[in-house]
Amino acid sequence: MKHTKIFTGIALAFGLAASAAGAQEMSFFRIGTGGTAGTYYPIGGLLANAISNPPGSRPCDQGGSCGVPGLIASALSANGSVANINAIAGGSLESGFSQSDVATWAYTGTGIWEGKPAVDKLRAIANLYPESIHLITSAESGISSVADLKGKRVSMDEPGSGTLVDAKIILDGYGLSEADIQPEFLKPDQAADRMRDGAMDAFFFVGGYPAGAISELASQHAVKLIPISCEEAPKICEEFKFFAPDVIPGGTYEGNADDVQTLSVGAQWVTSADQPEELIYQITKALWNDNSRKQLDAGHAKGKAITKETALNGVGIPLHPGAEKFYKEAGLLK
């Protein structure tokens, strides 16, 4: 239903634009997200609605959209962090979501970007919310720790995703590699389907909780969240400073009543230095207005975690000049 609303809104915007042709300049802005079963996609839809203000819309002060005048933004399903950054670098996306670790590696040409050209035009609009590392196992698999994954059927997520990167780091931190498991490379919803059918023992997912695919799976199949911590695997946090301790609260997923310790990375909204300064300034301003605040709080469980006060947390790449201008005006940046 949420997806239908997003696309219906875009179609309506085109209709409004046609009736007001010539009255206001129209522009488009795409946000690359992740798979439809994850958290990036619905959050992307919320942000697209918040920053859009199609030609012919009622003004903000008259109860209309408080987005950027003439802008039509859309959230596109994509393969996640790595794919979004590549698309931004190639000019096929105006912006996208990325894990903070992947964005930093891409900009500096280090980590998973070592040996590849650095994406030196990558710029940040905002840090959004913590992305929790989920390790989901079938309750009947007998897995109770990361070390128990040895010899098991484990989905690491699809190529081009930040989850795949972090899954490899987690395995290595616990003394395992892909050679020690039976790896598969599926989207979370596909991995969940396989687990439901008894053909998958575990899968990784990095994203805000609750994740739709995991919630649906837990309502139909007994699953268990496995803890991940730097106390158990100190190598992870010693080598990769972008990980932060996190907790998935008890009751987030059916059958998991207790809090589960895990790690998180920041979900960030990134763009290219080639995007106009005034456009990104207006987009950043629209993101943090009072009307957007209401949409974020009501639209998704993770929306409340997207705050202006944490917008600069963990940002390891330069801000876009337009975003920087807004944060200085807002007193959040000197």
Q: What pLDDT, on a 0 to 100 scale, did the predictor assign at position 221?
A: 95
Strands (E), 54-93: 68-69, 71-76
For range 41-60, the mean pLDDT: 92
The better pLDDT of the pair 6, 94 is held by 94
Quote the CA–CA distance of 253 and 209 in Å, as a whole number: 9
Q: What pLDDT, on a 0 to 100 scale, did the predictor assign at position 243?
A: 85
Do 173 and 233 form a contact (C-beta atoms < 8 A)? yes
| Confidence label for 24 from pLDDT (cuts 50, 70 and 90) | low
Do 168 and 232 form a contact (C-beta atoms < 8 A)? no
Strands (E), the chain: 27-32, 52-53, 68-69, 71-76, 95-99, 122-138, 153-155, 182-184, 202-207, 223-225, 244-248, 260-272
Count the helices and strands in the chain (H runs, E runs): 11, 12
User: Is a pLDDT exceeding 90 seen at residue 330?
Assistant: yes
The better pLDDT of the pair 44, 23 is held by 44
Neighbours of 85 (CB within 10 A): 28
User: Is a pLDDT exceeding 60 seen at residue 325?
Assistant: yes
Q: What's the pLDDT tens digit per position in 188-238?
A: 999 999 999 999 999 999 988 888 889 999 999 999 999 999 899 999 988
Work out the end-to-end distance of the chain between its first and last CA atoms, rounded to an integer number of angstroms: 42
Q: What's the pLDDT tens digit per position in 229-274?
A: 989 999 998 888 788 888 999 999 999 999 999 999 999 999 999 9
Residue 202 has φ and ψ, to the nearest 5°, of -160, 160
Return the closest-CA partner of residue 296 out of 130, 129, 132, 133: 129
Q: What pLDDT, on a 0 to 100 scale, did the predictor assign at position 3?
A: 45
For range 109-120, the mean pLDDT: 91
Q: What pLDDT, on a 0 to 100 scale, did the predictor assign at position 17?
A: 42
Q: What pLDDT, on a 0 to 100 scale, did the predictor assign at position 316?
A: 86
Residue 220 has φ and ψ, to the nearest 5°, of -120, -15
User: Is a pLDDT exceeding 50 seen at residue 1?
Assistant: no
The better pLDDT of the pair 29, 9 is held by 29
Q: What pLDDT, on a 0 to 100 scale, did the predictor assign at position 281?
A: 98
| Confidence label for 156 from pLDDT (cuts 50, 70 and 90) | very high
Question: Residue 247 contacts by C-beta under 8 Å, 6 or more apart in sequence?
Answer: 259, 260, 261, 262
Residue 2 has φ and ψ, to the nearest 5°, of -60, -40
Residue showing tokens 């590549």 = 86
User: Is a pLDDT exceeding 60 seen at residue 20?
Assistant: no
For range 59-78, the mean pLDDT: 90
Q: What's the pLDDT tens digit per position in 121-135?
A: 999 999 999 889 999
